Amino acid sequence: MNLRPALTALLLAPLLLACASTSRVMLSQARPAIDPALVEVYASAPEGSIEIAQIEATSAVGFGTQGQTDAAIERLKREAAALGANGVILMGVGSQRAPVSVGLGGGNYGRHGGVGLGVGVPATQKNAAGMAIWVPQPAPMVTQPRE
């Protein structure tokens, strides 16, 4: 029995499972990119904010952990920062089954045979959707010196 196809599938599985993505729909002109660490996450739009784009992000495939949710939100923040947005209104987070699976099989032919073992592990991806926004910073307070 030739094990090369099975070994190739096993070696490529981690690469396929690591897939994550982002998408966007532009609503206004992008601004110069900023550092993702400066992007704030909001539950609702702050006063005076300007919508830049609707954005979506997915995490890498895993087992439905909080880390996957955090990764999807971080991807939202990176996408928003690339558009020059300093905020993201978080619209929602959900899960979906992973689009990738790996299977191995076995069989027999005459006196030659092979045995296969299959294990199914439910894997998921986390999806996050949000609105990239630009929030004007308030002017700094200037105090007059006392005389």
What global pTM score does this model have? Answer: 0.65
Q: pLDDT tens for residues 79-119?
A: 999 999 999 999 999 887 765 555 556 666 667 666 665 55
pLDDT over 50 (residue 15): no
pLDDT over 70 (residue 68): yes
Instruction: Please tell me the distance from the alpha carbon of residue 71 to that of residue 75, in angstroms, as a whole number.
Output: 6
Q: What's the per-residue H, E or C state across the chain? A: CCCHHHHHHHHHHHHHHCCCCEEEEECCCCCCCCCHHHCEEECCCCCCCEEEEEEEEECCCECCCHHHHHHHHHHHHHHHHHCCCCEEEEEEEEEEECCCCCCCCCCEECCEECCCCCCCCCCEEEEEEEEEEECCCCCCCCCCCCC
In this structure, the strands spanning 22-26 and 87-97 are: unpaired
Q: pLDDT tens for residues 16-58?
A: 444 667 788 899 999 999 999 999 999 999 999 999 999 999 8
